[in-house]
Structure 1
Amino acid sequence: MARADIDLRRLSRLAAALVLVIAVAVGSVFGLLHHWRLPPGGDAPGSAGLQAVPAPRLQSAPQDDLAAYRAEQRRQLDAVGWEDRAQGRVRIPVADAIELVAQGKGVR
């Protein structure tokens, strides 16, 4: 016949183990906090070489910036010019490049 009673010995061991784990975790946290404590009026260790991060540039009219960016990109796509003069690479409009590739002249 099965026992219906709870084994108090196993339950007390489990509770003791749980209390021990919690005590070790809390002790570790307090130990780390004590170890990392800053001296009064002092900076964090190793922060002497760090630079302050600049504040973000907020855009009051991002639509205007986006339109200017797209216009510059469009101007570069539609313009003829040197991409890299030393290597002999030029920039031509996309429509002209498609036409050259269709004619078989796109590759040297």
Structure 2
Amino acid sequence: MHRPSQADKQTTTAVDRKISEITTIKSKLYRAGLTLLEIDRTYDLPRGTAGTTLREPNVKGERAIAAALGTRPELLWRTRYHASGLRKSPQPAENYVRPATMAQRQIEARA
């Protein structure tokens, strides 16, 4: 009568949560009609900072993206902030692990 514990739900790893977080933020930017390069230019950030911020913690990038979306950084990056809204310092090591690229994930899925 009992089903296996994995039968109808998938476990989510830190990498899966990170990919989900990145895609959520990207979709919000798309709906707002914004690009990462526009955010870099508008907030006087070095080129590529906003894009890197999606994958790795960066205070200025987080604030710029949140400001462009009209929200607070702790609502976009829950893994980088405490529930109180204070930024974690130091950041957990898992926040610096880069997720595999789409091509790498496709190769892993085939294997």
Q: TM bucket by the smaller chain?
A: under 0.3
| Larger Cα-atom Rg | 1
Higher share in helix: 2
Q: What TM-score do you get using the length of structure 2 for normalisation?
A: 0.19
Q: Using CA pairs below 8 Å that are at least 6 residues apart, which structure has the higher relative contact order? A: 2
Q: What TM-score do you get using the length of structure 1 for normalisation?
A: 0.20
